[in-house]
Amino acid sequence: MDIQLLNAKYLTKAGEYQEAAKFLSLILLENGQTKHAEDFKFKIYLQITGLYILAEDQDKAVYYFYRAKALRFKNTRLYLEIIYKVRNSDILSFLLNIKIWNKTEINKLKTFEYIM
């Protein structure tokens, strides 16, 4: 699991958002053999959603957002709730084809760990 997180972090810094999302999706979150905290699953699904939004892959972004949405009320961390609301607005603007962020703003946000 740590290898997938590290690979995703490096790929994100390199601007390979699609590949980073694929590495995060390799973490078996819904597997019966390993138990992950609900907050961890929620965080990973939000990360994957953000990466697919940046990669402009609408279908996969919506799919992972809905998986995160199913875990929303099991979340106990306030910062994850804030990130959820940001992702919600990102998804809505993405679905409505409204470009809120341009490339320079995305580059600025990367320095602030927008993707987590």
pLDDT in tens, 76-116: 888 888 888 888 888 888 777 755 555 555 555 554 454 44
Instruction: Give a yes or no: residue 15 inside a domain.
Output: yes
17-73: pLDDT as tens digits: 999 998 888 887 776 666 778 888 899 899 999 999 888 888 899 999 999 998 888
Instruction: Provide the domain count of the chain.
Output: 1
The boundaries of the domain holding residue 26 are 2-111
Alpha-carbon distance of 16 to 47, in angstroms, equals 14
Q: Is residue 116 part of a domain?
A: no
CA distance 47 to 116: 7
Domain contains 22: yes
Specify the pTM. 0.78
Q: Which residue, among 39, 44, 43, has the nearest Cα to 24 in the 3D structure?
A: 44
CATH of the domain at 62: 1.25.40
Q: Hey, is 15 helix, strand or coil? A: coil
- Please report whether residue 57 resides in a domain: yes
